Amino acid sequence: MNYRLEPQPYEWISRDNAIRFTFEGREFQAFEGDSISSGLLANGQSILGRSFKYHRPRGALTLANHDVNALFQTDEKPNVRGDVVALEPGMTLTACNVNGTVIKDKDAKIEYAARFLPVGFYYKTFHKPKKLFPFWEKIIRSKAGLGQVNTQWDAQRQSKSYAFCDLLVIGAGLSGMQSALAAADAQLNVVLVDENPFIGGSLDYQLAHEPRVKALRESLKASVSTHPNIRLYTSTLAVGWYTDHYLPLLTPHGIIKLRSRAVVHATGVMEQPAVFRNNDLPGVMMASGIQRLISRYAVKPGQNALVLTSNDEGYRAALDMCEAGIAVVAVVDMESIAQRGEWAERVLAKGIRVLEKHGIYEAIGRQSVQRVIVAPLSGESCDLAKKDVIDCDLIAMSVGWVPAAQLIYQAGGKLSYDETLQQFVPESLPKGIFVCGRLNGAFTVDQRISDAKAVAQEAVAFLKGQHEPRDLSQYRDTTAHSHPWPIIEHPKGKNFIDFDEDLQLKDLKNAILEGFDNIELLKRFSTVGMGPSQGKHSNMNAIRVLARAQGLSINATGSTTARPFFHPVPISALAGRRFRPERRSPLHAWHEAHQAKFMEAGVWLRPEYYGASSARLDCIQEEVEAVRSRLGIIDVSTLGKIEVMGPDAARLLDLAYTMKMSTLKQGMTRYALMVDDSGVIIDDGIVGRVASDQFYVTATTSHADATYKVLSKYVQFCRLNVRLVNRTGSLAAINLAGPESRKVLAPLTSISLSESDFPYLGMREGLLCGYPVRLIRVGFVGELGYEIHLPHDAALEVWQRLMAAGQTVGIKPFGVEAQRILRLEKGHIIIGQDTDGLTHPYEVGMSWAVPLNSKAWFTGKPSLARLKSSCQRQLVGFKLAQGAPKDLVKECHLVIDNNEMVGRVTSVAYSPTQQCVIGLVMLDQPYADTSNPIHIRVDDGRLIRGERCRLPFYDPEGIRQTSAVEEVLL
């Protein structure tokens, strides 16, 4: 049977585009624009899912994402919300949490054990004995679970973007459209968002057949869609509010991070269920849910309807159902019909039976509603002596509303309970947060228009800095649209408050009796409002139950806190585009063309070594060997390079570095060690003096920006007359190292390289291959070497000329790994590898770099003065026996003594010059003070013995880097 109605005036479906999909293996047909739920309902599939705990059959309730009765699983996605997710051609769906099919769920028998499964049952029963919990957890999860995550998922990222506006209006219903328009007319730059694919909100489903709003609807829709000051985003959710009006807008393309100057919430209200026995049977729906189904999807939810109401909206829904050809068998009004308006008159005029001051005692039916027991209300219960049984297959509940105020709570707004409206309404709002419409208690069309115009005016004034908060209650309705107690007791229960979590009235009452009598405690113990719909249909009734049990007002009972996100946000949207900066040296392309294997060094990519990865160790060894015996060349462009100039330049460096820089002679360099206030080493480099008032400072690759920042902080806060220029990216740097370096370099440069003109640690300026360069005699790798600092655009040419000139002596480019071995042979530490966040100079044998007596002050001096005599650790060199495997000991392996950890390996490598494995260990001071051998626990658990060595391992006198190379070779 087809449940599709004749075309409706504002329907979302496109009847020209039929789509086919399968549910539980059966093929169905629907239209483009259908949601999953409407597509199934159009085919007469009234059971859409099974409940979380008892596996009760569930059908459509709100059609608005205020419940999760209809949760589906596709091949890729779990927990697809059928009410709001559009059908796609070829979709293959099953229901979540079903063992079998939704019609025949083998786990439905769990319901018969319901009375043995009270709230708190799992907490109380399964936590002892602890070791059995994993067993029970597995069973509970499979029986009471949500969807299955596809672990073969595809990594997807949706890009994010930023947006800015004066005013964000959330909700494009009557109030939202009107306020957006008024604000845009006042020249504000407005963003209007709505979660639905079409604008119009409740105008299009609650007032679809109301002739008086036809012209208004058309004019508002047309105006907001074309206004030059409005950006309209449909199918877009404002999923959270963050400080300074920063709101993530979840669009189908990903997240827009919107920065607004103010926000108008026109998010409306969410309909609440009545609580009676079997109120969760398929066929029991919110009146607004029925109206959505009819107006948006043209689907007929039943043949014979009964309306339970306590407001005008119920009568309006009855008329809409008549219009759609549904027989309305009765309207059951919980209050007196005398207080109803024209809608009730029109219902009576149609000859529909109206029962006033009645309630529903119970709905009856196996898989869906078949009949209803109604009875006069007597106090809070039903007078069963006068009960009536009415046959129907559809129950429309229209007993009350709650404001969609989640984002207002997030922003720090306060709501209070209005006894006239029997609804929460905003009471006080933070700066820049505004509200209007039904959310604010304005219910009639006239009230909503006035409220929307007033809020726009208020927002405009606020943005001009002339804000006077308005009287929020000015356009509020004067009659209640919610019933204060839409709840009917039943001795057999199954009167549900929370449909997500299968919570019945008695579950909450028992929890309160057990002492969980505060709204936050009640929530956590009973889990009310903690399901996927996050209390959208359950919190209000839970508050009413708690308030009554405690004899408190609703205000005194309070509400739970709403947190982001308002709606689940896919991880792909949260992930966004990947911003992982990657920095390349000007020689990158050359390295790439010469088989460099790259590694990350901070944000930089650096050659680790050159050659085939299958021969990694051999390549590295050859590179080391080339530097030691002939000539190597390495790209060190990643070094931080800072120019320090001005009358106070020397003073700045004296403050920032441990060693005295003011005594440095022009044209000379000095090792520079930087510690923080606590004496911990944070960076090292060299300082070279260019002129009396100009220095050139280098910093380690990963600390360059931080070092610049530290220096600039002194300049600013210690009133120093110094200028800094960070030249890291504008200059390249190349280290030419090895006994042949002078011979190869000399013909290419204007600078005299003789030992007397250019000694070790000297710095010279001049030309190299015609480019202006600075040369520095450095000794990091322990050979005669020149660090060449040159313009970024000269790097490639100079590098190639050096390679060509070095051809005859067998020059070899070397990478970071070879450099690490070379410096390890020299016993030079690498900050951050051989040091950690607590290491001070005395622990790494650098007391020579801490002039406590000769300097009045440098950062960290008082700490180091104290630490000098209380070292807790010591960096010590070690080597393994010749012939020991080259890669057995690794960095971070532990040093063990009598089964206790006494240290760890910070650096280790096979040294070609020493012909054995060498390394550094950071030892606890007591063990360092002994002369015991070092036992290192390696991956397989064995202890490997190493012998202590004095540092450096190679050329302890430093002859090779300091003297004329000819002398060394003799």
Partner 1 sequence: MKSVQLTPITDWQAWILTGPDSSVAFTGMEAPAEVMTAVFSDGHLIAKTGRDEFLAFVKESAVQPQSTWCFRRHDRILQIQGSAWEEAMLCLCQFDFHRMQPNEWQMLAVAGINCWLWKDPNPDQGILIGFDPGYAEYLEHIFHDVIHELELRSVNLGGAL
Partner 2 sequence: MKLLECPVIGKRPISEFDYMGEIRIPPLAADEKTWSEYVFNRKGAPCSLKEAWYHRPTGRWYVVVRNTLTDEIEAHVDISEVQYELPA
Least separation, in Å, of the C-beta of 193 and partner 1? 10
Return d(Cα 28, Cα 943) in angstroms, integer.
68
Q: Which of residues 7-66 bind partner 2 (CB under 8 A)?
A: none
717 binds partner 2 (CB under 8 A): yes
For residue 191, how many other CB atoms are within 10 A of its CB? 25
Cβ-contact 421, 401 below 8 angstroms:
no
Q: Is 25 helix (H, G, I), strand (E, B) or coil?
A: coil
Q: 863 contacts which partner out of partner 1, partner 2, none, CB within 5 to 8 A by kind?
A: partner 2
Residue closer to partner 2 by CB (options 245, 960) is: 245
Q: Which residues pair with 331 in a beta bridge?
A: 307, 354
If you write DSSP's letter for every residue of 180-216 in order, what string do you get? HHHHHHTT--EEEE-SSSSS-GGGGTTSTT-GGGHHH
Binding-site string for partner 1 from residue 848 to residue 877, where x marks contact by CB under 8 A and - marks none: ------------------------------
159 binds partner 1 (CB under 8 A): yes
369 binds partner 1 (CB under 8 A): no
How many angstroms from the chain centroid is the CA of residue 673?
A: 39
Q: Which of residues 185-244 bind partner 2 (CB under 8 A)?
A: 242-244
**Beta carbons within 8 Å of 277's beta carbon, 6+ residues apart:** 361, 362, 363, 488, 490, 492, 493, 494, 495
Token representation of residue 80: 């697809």
Residue 370: name the closest of 353, 392, 401, 337 by CA. 392
Locus of tokens 């970071």: 816
Q: Which of 77, 143, 209, 259 binds partner 1 (CB under 8 A)?
A: 259
458 exposure class (CB count in 10 Å sphere: 0-12, 13-18, 19+): buried
Q: 696 contacts which partner out of partner 2, partner 1, none, CB within 5 to 8 A by kind?
A: none
Residue closer to partner 2 by CB (options 28, 708) is: 708
Least separation, in Å, of the C-beta of 243 and partner 2? 5
Return d(Cα 755, Cα 968) in angstroms, integer.
13
Residue closer to partner 2 by CB (options 207, 711) is: 711
Q: Which of 215, 338, 349, 856 binds partner 2 (CB under 8 A)?
A: 856
Least separation, in Å, of the C-beta of 657 and partner 2? 13
Residue 96: name the closest of 113, 117, 74, 112 by CA. 74
708 binds partner 1 (CB under 8 A): no
Binding-site string for partner 1 from residue 196 to residue 235, where x marks contact by CB under 8 A and - marks none: ----------------------------xxxxxxxxxxx-
Residue closer to partner 1 by CB (options 233, 475) is: 233
**Residue type, position 321, single letter:** M
643 binds partner 1 (CB under 8 A): yes
The DSSP element (H or E) to which 962 belongs, if any, is helix 959-962
Least separation, in Å, of the C-beta of 260 and partner 1? 11
Residue closer to partner 2 by CB (options 708, 910) is: 708
791 binds partner 1 (CB under 8 A): yes
729 binds partner 1 (CB under 8 A): yes
597 binds partner 1 (CB under 8 A): no
Least separation, in Å, of the C-beta of 230 and partner 1? 5
577 binds partner 1 (CB under 8 A): yes
Q: Is the bond preceding 273 in cis, omega lying within 30 degrees of 0?
A: no
* Residues in binding contact with partner 2, number by CB under 8 A: 26
Least separation, in Å, of the C-beta of 654 and partner 2? 7
Residue closer to partner 2 by CB (options 480, 659) is: 659
Q: Which residues pair with 478 in a beta bridge?
A: none
Q: Which of residues 255-274 bind partner 2 (CB under 8 A)?
A: 259
Q: Is the bond preceding 532 in cis, omega lying within 30 degrees of 0?
A: no
Least separation, in Å, of the C-beta of 165 and partner 2? 14
Return d(Cα 627, Cα 576) in angstroms, integer.
45
Q: Which of 209, 583, 868, 886 binds partner 1 (CB under 8 A)?
A: 583
Residue closer to partner 2 by CB (options 123, 579) is: 579
- Measured CA to CA in angstroms, residue 467 lies from 175, 350, 432, 938 at distances of 21, 50, 10, 70
945 binds partner 1 (CB under 8 A): no
153 binds partner 2 (CB under 8 A): no
Residue closer to partner 1 by CB (options 163, 213) is: 163
Least separation, in Å, of the C-beta of 729 and partner 1? 4
857 binds partner 2 (CB under 8 A): yes
Cβ-contact 28, 40 below 8 angstroms:
yes
Residue closer to partner 2 by CB (options 281, 682) is: 682
For residue 643, how many other CB atoms are within 10 A of its CB? 16
For residue 466, how many other CB atoms are within 10 A of its CB? 8
133 binds partner 2 (CB under 8 A): no
Q: Which of 104, 127, 709, 890 binds partner 2 (CB under 8 A)?
A: 709
Q: Which of 574, 645, 706, 830 binds partner 1 (CB under 8 A)?
A: 645
Residue closer to partner 2 by CB (options 247, 875) is: 247
How many angstroms from the chain centroid is the CA of residue 787?
A: 44
Least separation, in Å, of the C-beta of 566 and partner 2? 19
Own/partner long-range contacts of 243-252 (Cβ < 8 Å, ≥24 apart): 245/168, 245/432, 247/168, 247/407, 248/565, 248/569, 249/163, 249/191, 249/193, 250/565, 250/567, 250/569, 250/573
Q: 723 contacts which partner out of partner 2, partner 1, none, CB within 5 to 8 A by kind?
A: partner 1
Residue 813: name the closest of 597, 659, 504, 604 by CA. 597
518 binds partner 1 (CB under 8 A): no
Instruction: Return the beta strands (E) in 370-437 as ranges.
Output: 371-378, 381-382, 388-391, 394-398, 401-403, 414-418, 423-428, 433-435
863 binds partner 2 (CB under 8 A): yes
650 binds partner 1 (CB under 8 A): no
132 binds partner 2 (CB under 8 A): no
716 binds partner 2 (CB under 8 A): yes
**Pairing relationship of beta strands 14-23 and 26-32 according to DSSP bridges:** antiparallel
Radius of gyration of the chain (CA): 39
Q: Which of residues 800-829 bind partner 2 (CB under 8 A)?
A: none
Binding site for partner 2 (CB under 8 A): 242-244, 246, 259, 651, 654-655, 677-678, 705, 708-709, 712-713, 716-719, 726, 856-857, 859, 862-863, 866
Binding site for partner 1 (CB under 8 A): 159-164, 189-190, 192, 224-234, 253, 257, 259, 577, 579-586, 588, 604, 643, 645-646, 694, 723, 725, 727-730, 791-793
